[in-house]
Amino acid sequence: MSSERFAAAINCMDGRTQIPVISYMRQKFHVDYVDMITELGPARVIAERSDASALQSIRRRLEISIEKHGSKVVAVVGHYDCAANAVEMETQLQQIARSIQTITSWGLEVKVMGLWIDEKWSPHHVDENSRD
């Protein structure tokens, strides 16, 4: 493994969220790169656990980021105006919190956090305990 530092983000495929998430993660965690694990409405997919193949795919891609790139932190992202998860912000925040709990339960050696991207495309930290 090189000296490059990585983080990971389980992010929506929506292109509007990519740069804000990468910029936030690079600055906050002093990493060189952010592995993007994209999915349609990922917080919903992980929180509801109703699509086993999508959930397994997300987990496998996260494991690769951790094992091969040495990622130590992962963000689960929800955002304003999500076409695939068109619910109010509060519901998405709850989904992000449940997603954090689910990913933590996988026992991977990674810090799990949440991000909400607002209507100005600015990231905000979401705490797993603040939305139950």
- Within-domain flag for 1: no
pTM for the structure as a whole: 0.92
Mean pLDDT of 74-97: 96
* 50 domain residue, yes or no: yes
Contact 72, 110 (CB under 8 A): yes
Count how many Cα atoms sit within 13 Å of the Cα of residue 97 in the half-sphere of its side chain.
Answer: 13
pLDDT level of residue 132 (50, 70, 90 thresholds): very low
The answer to whether residue 131 scores a pLDDT higher than 70 is no
- Assess whether pLDDT exceeds 90 at residue 87: yes
Q: pLDDT-based confidence at 125, cuts 50/70/90?
A: very high
Q: Sorting pLDDT into bands at 50, 70 and 90, what band is 130?
A: low
Q: Is residue 15 part of a domain?
A: yes
The answer as to whether 132 is a domain residue is no
On whether residue 98 sits in a domain, the answer given is yes
In this structure, what are the phi and psi dihedrals at residue 91, rounded to the nearest 5 degrees?
A: -65, -45
- pLDDT greater than 80 at residue 106: yes
Here the tokens at position 92 are: 């998405």
**Is residue 131 included in any domain, yes or no?**
no
Q: Which domain holds residue 67?
A: 6-126
Q: How far is CA 23 from CA 17, 33, 37, 123, in A?
A: 10, 10, 16, 9
Return the CATH number at 50: 3.40.1050.10
Q: Count of domains in the chain?
A: 1
User: Does any domain span residue 103?
Assistant: yes
